[in-house]
Structure 1
Amino acid sequence: MSIAIVGHFLAAAIGVSLGLMGGGGSILAVPVLVYVMGVAPKAAIAMSLAIVGTVSLIGAIPHWKLGNVRLGTAFLFGSTAMLGAYLGARLASLAWMNDTLQMGLFAVTMLLAAVLMIRKSTQLSQAEMAEADTDSQSTPKRRYAWFWMAIEGMGVGVLTGLVGVGGGFAIVPALVLLGNVPIKQAAGTSLLIIALKSVTGFLGYLGQVELDWPLMASFTVAASFGTILGIYLVPFIKSRQLQIGFSCFLLLMAGFVLWENWAS
């Protein structure tokens, strides 16, 4: 019983991270399901897609009401991400993609996420964020930004299907730096993109793994409450300090996952 309580408390924390940063949920959901709840890795990845996809959609609703969701940008990034997520899930079902390799790739992705988040927090200063919030947003910061966003969407989608990460750590900075999207709108749009590609990633696993539906439902409820809390806390927490702290936590988690796979 105590393990179940801890696991659902962590599920709520996953929701808080989604609400605060527009990402970070999936990259926590998989290790919680595997190492706390004892779910097999492939099933945990599939379940995390359903959990985080549902919670992200719920979290996108208040952002939508606040005008922080760009449908056109979400469609551009999300369409290729959805295709990539399905392909990644089918790739994960191949015989040579065993649990050890898949969790090893997951740990490497966590390291990459930590590095990208630290880099983002140092590159996007408070002044740049304020400028992005008030800019005209009529011209992308980079030529052919739509093309690069579509390419990154495909890459992030493959990672989603293969190792179960939502990719908010890559989506948010891509929207800000490539699409000239203000940081608050990037977070809201990221939640919708994560929800879209989580659907196709989950469909790619459906029928390939055995799922614990009651656990998936209870985790979704706990994470949904966490997301609502996270969105409420957005005005009171500085994003730069949050990203740095979360990045350090990801580094520790990545080391733990690598150690667990090496030991086994």
Structure 2
Amino acid sequence: MTPLILALLAGAAAGVSLGALGAGGSILTVPALVYLLGFTPAAATTASLVVVIVTSVTALVAHARAGAVRWRAGLLFAAAGVLPAAGAGALSSRVPATVLTLLFAALAALAGLHMLGRRAPRENGAVSGARAAGAGAGLGAVTGFLGVGGGFLAVPALVAVLAVPMSAAVGTSLLVVGANALVALAARAYSSVHLDLTLLLPFLAAAVLGAWDGRRLAAKVSAGTLRRVFGAVLLAVAVAMGVSAVL
């Protein structure tokens, strides 16, 4: 199978995950870029931010049209993550590739387990400013350092910390992860990482189309089924990345 076909297939899978669940797209993007398309871990995490930004905006438009975005809550949450995302983004390029791969594998395992065992988070009517700032800052740091959107963290945090209803949590999380990814990418603008655009652009195009399909898929397939499928995929990815990093 040619690299171009692999880029299109992997991009479509990442886009479907993000569009359907508001999460998982970037966690699939990084290992796909490394193991299927030959990107270095540093280049993959940077390229992933590009994918996260474009696909998040694409999926956000669909959710916004359905009235499923809480703009004020999302912007407040994202604002707390601006500085951590920028700082972590600048630091990431200085971390050894093996360490970056192992950290990413651990995050993928956490995301997979979370999706497999996930229950709807309880909505909390009392919003704490300190908790909101802490959650937003933590998400921004994860986005900046590992090049992931962090939707699997953002959705429950928005519900429990900012009292965003579940019906609007996925759409609002797309606003948060897109903003964090944009800041993190800007922090890496002067790094020496090389991105192979001949593979990244087809990957990105397929991810955008996949995000629209994912939004439609979410209306036809139960959220629980989608989470279990993507959770199992993420666990397999985590194991493969962990083994390859230590061998």
Change beyond 3 A, Cα 1:65–1:214: same
Q: For residues 111 and 164 of structure 1, what CA distance do their matches in structure 2 show?
A: 16
Q: 2:112 aligns with which of 111, 114, 119?
A: 114
Q: For residues 53 and 87 of structure 2, what CA distance do their matches in structure 1 show?
A: 17
1:220 is the counterpart of 2:220? no
- What's the CA shift string for 1:85-143, capped at 9, x where partnerless? 2111111133xx1100011100111122123333433xx28xx7xxx7xxxxxxx4345
Change beyond 3 A, Cα 1:75–1:257: same
Q: What RMSD over aligned residues (CA atoms) do the two structures have, in Å?
A: 1.7
- What's the CA shift string for 1:162-215, capped at 9, x where partnerless? 111210000011112222222231111111111111111111222211122333
Offset of residue 231 of structure 1 = 0.7
Report the equivalent of 1:30.
Answer: 30
When normalised by structure 2's length, the TM-score is 0.93
Gaps of 5+ in 1: 133-139
**Range with greater deviation from structure 2 (81-90 or 100-109):** 81-90
Q: 1:235 aligns with which of 216, 219, 231?
A: 219
Report the equivalent of 1:56.
Answer: 56
1:179 is the counterpart of 2:177? no
Q: For residues 8 and 166 of structure 1, what CA distance do their matches in structure 2 show?
A: 20
Residues 116 and 170 in structure 1, CA contact (< 8 A), matched pair in contact too = no
Change beyond 3 A, Cα 1:259–1:148: same
Would you say how many aligned residue pairs link Structure 1 and Structure 2?
246
- What's the CA shift string for 1:217-264, capped at 9, x where partnerless? 22211100000101111211111222122222211110100000011x
Q: 2:97 aligns with which of 93, 96, 99?
A: 99
Amino acid at match of 1:72: R
Residues 7 and 200 in structure 2, CA contact (< 8 A), matched pair in contact too = no
Q: Percent identity?
A: 35
Partner-residue secondary structure (3-state), 1:162: helix
Residues 4 and 199 in structure 2, CA contact (< 8 A), matched pair in contact too = no
Q: For residues 143 and 179 of structure 1, what CA distance do their matches in structure 2 show?
A: 5
Partner-residue secondary structure (3-state), 2:55: helix
Q: For residues 184 and 50 of structure 1, what CA distance do their matches in structure 2 show?
A: 27
Matched ranges for 1:1-264 at <5 A: 2-94=2-94, 97-121=95-119, 124=120, 140-144=124-128, 146-208=129-191, 209-263=193-247
Residues 53 and 181 in structure 2, CA contact (< 8 A), matched pair in contact too = yes
When normalised by structure 1's length, the TM-score is 0.88
Partner-residue secondary structure (3-state), 2:118: helix
Change beyond 3 A, Cα 1:118–1:78: same
Partner-residue secondary structure (3-state), 1:69: coil
